[in-house]
Structure 1
Amino acid sequence: MQEAIEIAGMAIAPGGRELLEIPVTRLPTQTSIALPVTVLHGCEPGPRLWLSAAIHGDEINGVEIVRQVLERVHPEQLRGTLIAAPIVNVFGFIEQSRYLPDRRDLNRSFPGSPDGSLAARLAHLFMREIVSRCTHGIDLHTASDHRTNLPQIRANLHDRETRRCALAFGAPVAIHATTRDGSLRQAAAKRGIPVLLFEGGEALRFDMTAIRVGVAGVLQVMTTLEMLPAAETSPALVPPEQPLSTSMPQEVFQTKWVRAARSGILRLGVRLGDRVEKRQVLGVIADAFGATAATVRAPIAGLAIGQTLNPLVNQGDAILHLAVLGADAPVALAIAPQGKHARNSS
């Protein structure tokens, strides 16, 4: 029989659903700021999964993904526990900013400290109250800096359990990605928790295809973990811009940014999801009159997984992100034995 779970001093009984407001700090006006968390605690024991979004406050697709997942999942049908934090960086979300008020990046501040900066304290709170109680995690993001991303999973594909969840998510691409210092994924991996990072769409915009892929992906991971029956993973009720793929995700072990060889106005001729061949023309960079133009060609064969949305580029700017395919793609390393993800995550 499932036991009650306690978060921030509140006990949630089996079969319960609770909205918690975990105190973070006060503004200079003395207005209280809290971390909103919804806990769905199933009647039967099972995995404990967290969903987090808006760690970067302007990345809002994940907020809608979490809302739709919570609309679809009910405690009485759940094995284990779902802990959903749709707005982790409350400060940045309010200001429509990636950062906290001190301009720190929350996703470079984990595992945090109870006595550090505002970012460090918030990271420490999230690790203590959410991550420490979970067996698995899914962190939801979008592209940044006037860029957009094809829906994709980034994870340690050399770890068996993480790869199992990454492929179950069903995004078009699953990318083996090392962790960044100070990231939530790195801090959780050091505790032995498999974590998926989902990227899709752009900042401060709803991308309905990315949202639909994200909702379906979370439900499919929950089914793979036997938290939900298979009938609960039907596609999310969002009108699709394009059908969801039913094929296995493309596993990728290297990516490469195509950069501008000169400054000017970019006219890109490929779209997200397009496959390109080596030396294929991707677009042109010209002046305002089109009098002088430089052709942009693909340095490798690949799949377009990210691109700039700003046509004004400086020399060296990243303009198109390619997943390396074909002869240029590296060979995958051996997958770690079950249960070794904590020590083999980079």
Structure 2
Amino acid sequence: MSSKPFILLGKTIPEGKRTVLDLEVAKLHTRTTVKVPVIVERSSNPGPVVLLLAGIHGDETNGVGIIREIINLELNKPKNGTIICIPVFNIFGYLIQTREFPDGRDLNRMFPGTLNGSLASQFAYQFSEKIAPIVDYVIDFHTGGGERDNIAQIRCNKNDEKGLELAKVFNPPIIVYSNNIVKSLRETLHKMGKTVLLFEGGKSKELNPTIINEGVNGTKNVLIHLGLIEGNITVRETPIFVKKAKWLRAQHSGMFKIRVANGSFVKKREVLGVIQDPFGDFKKKIYAPFDCHIFCINKTPIVNKGDALFHISLE
């Protein structure tokens, strides 16, 4: 917003230029240096700094695909302000397609990190100290873990007025009220006074064209709204607000067949799925306990009693 030098990772970012920086994390045991590419597009005009970040969990590739497409369409080239893209944040997990860091920790539970802690904690600390302070807005792209398949949605705290305003501008199919998780990236950024949107869509280890399209269109809406790029905001339909939710869990173990489309509104006693054994001895139907929206389905073919199957709205 001011005319003072824009410095990121110790380097001055020139106006009107594309700059690619490397956030150095650590070395592999082979002594190969691992670097996280940070792509900076700074306009010649003042404006907010927006960070687009994906891959905090290494196997969540839909978010990587979203930012890649944003770069491909040159939506990250602002007329005003600055757009920073980090397509792959957890580069370790991305290389071997695992959720965690090499030390087994969930990076999204390690913020703001410490200077001399675990590898994941040190990496979180570098981000919190060197990148987070200079950004104004963040869109953090995620997918469902494992076989959990999320409808495209924005999650934000119900008391975050700025976040809710941007969530509506993003215009996803569903907006879920979600409290900040302790030591998560979202909680840390919120405490720093940043406005954060958490996008969820699809499941891990996939590139879903529908989810990627939702993420790109929503991000474009936000960038237009904030004045970084030119264009018209696209409003397709009014998002469904999920103020409270619960997981519908398996009452039996067995083979799981889904009988309802993800994102559906279902009526009480509607059959959502069937659990059956491989020997033909039993077949148990799963019924909707009440009228609700389904915004996540566990698409694993085999379930155990107690497994989370359907994420449904309570109100």
TM-score, length basis structure 2 = 0.95
The 5-angstrom pairing of residues 124-273 of structure 1 reads 124-231=125-232, 246-273=236-263
CA RMSD of aligned residues (A): 1.6
- Quick check: 1:47–1:135 contact (8 Å CA) kept in 2? yes
Following TM superposition, where does structure 1 have runs of at least 4 consecutive aligned residues deviating by more than 3 angstroms?
1-4, 73-77
Aligned in 2, Cα 1:74/1:159: closer, same or farther, shift over 3 Å? closer
- Quick check: 2:155–2:177 contact (8 Å CA) kept in 1? yes
Equivalent-residue separation in structure 2 for 1:66 and 1:250 (angstroms): 25
Aligned residues: 314
* Stretch moving more, 292-301 or 253-262: 292-301
The residue matched to 2:144 in structure 1 has which SS? coil
- Quick check: 1:143–1:199 contact (8 Å CA) kept in 2? yes
Equivalent-residue separation in structure 2 for 1:26 and 1:190 (angstroms): 31
- Name the structure 2 match of 1:341: none
Equivalent-residue separation in structure 1 for 2:84 and 2:94 (angstroms): 20
- Name the structure 2 match of 1:334: none
The residue matched to 1:116 in structure 2 has which SS? coil
Equivalent-residue separation in structure 2 for 1:309 and 1:203 (angstroms): 11
- Quick check: 2:75–2:220 contact (8 Å CA) kept in 1? no
- Name the structure 2 match of 1:316: 306
Equivalent-residue separation in structure 1 for 2:12 and 2:190 (angstroms): 27
> Which of 293, 300, 303 is the equivalent residue of 2:283?
293
| Runs of 5+ consecutive residues of structure 1 not aligned to the other structure | 235-244, 330-346
1:282: how far off? 1.1
Deviation per residue, 1:113-160 (Å, 9 max, x gap): 111110001111111222111111110011112211111100123222
Equivalent-residue separation in structure 1 for 2:137 and 2:72 (angstroms): 21
- Name the structure 1 match of 2:110: 109
- Name the structure 2 match of 1:23: 24
The residue matched to 1:67 in structure 2 has which SS? helix
- Quick check: 1:5–1:41 contact (8 Å CA) kept in 2? no
Aligned pair 1:65/2:66, yes or no?
A: yes
Letter in 2 for 1:116: G
Equivalent-residue separation in structure 2 for 1:288 and 1:75 (angstroms): 51
Equivalent-residue separation in structure 1 for 2:133 and 2:291 (angstroms): 42
The residue matched to 1:64 in structure 2 has which SS? helix
- Quick check: 1:41–1:75 contact (8 Å CA) kept in 2? no
Percent sequence identity over matched residues?
37
Aligned pair 1:305/2:295, yes or no?
A: yes
- Name the structure 2 match of 1:88: 89
1:289: how far off? 3.3
